[in-house]
Amino acid sequence: MFSNPIATYQQMEIESDVRGADPHRLIVLLFDGAESALRQAQVFLAANDMEGKSDALSKAIEIIMSGLSASLNVESGGELAANLQALYTYMISRLIHANIHKDASAVTEVQKLLGEISGAWREMGQNLRQSGNNNS
């Protein structure tokens, strides 16, 4: 049942974090997961581990497509949401390219783009928390 106790504990910790998270925190967790998968993909690419690279890139693509992009409300989010959706679609196409062509520079490009969006999202969360604390 518990073949790897450390992995089981880590999975339980992640599930606990997700269950207790507010919507902003859930997006942060998605960014964390995608960024982690992209770092792993770079390591696998450098080690010429094509199966590991493919798995890591597939995970990043899934998080971007089914997590980050799917969480956008394009109807009420206006131009910003539409631009983010286009950017996520571009990232996915670059990661597919990276997977097919073993292109570490395409992964780096997506890491940079995702890092910028993630940083802005985290900063927004800090600003919201600070303004909430100031109103208390």
| The residue to which tokens 């909430």 are assigned | 132
**pLDDT given for residue 65 in this prediction:** 97
14 pLDDT more than 80: no
Q: Letter for the amino acid at 7?
A: A
Question: Is the distance from CB of 27 to CB of 121 less than 8 angstroms?
Answer: yes
Distance of CA 88 to the CA centre of its chain: 10
CA distances from 72 to 46, 48, 132 (A): 33, 35, 24
When comparing pLDDT for 92 and 18, which is higher? 92
Q: Which domains does the chain have, with CATH numbers?
A: 5-134 (1.20.120.340)
9 DSSP 8-state letter: H
46-87 pLDDT, tens digit per residue, is: 999 999 999 999 999 999 999 999 999 989 999 999 999 999
**pLDDT given for residue 51 in this prediction:** 97
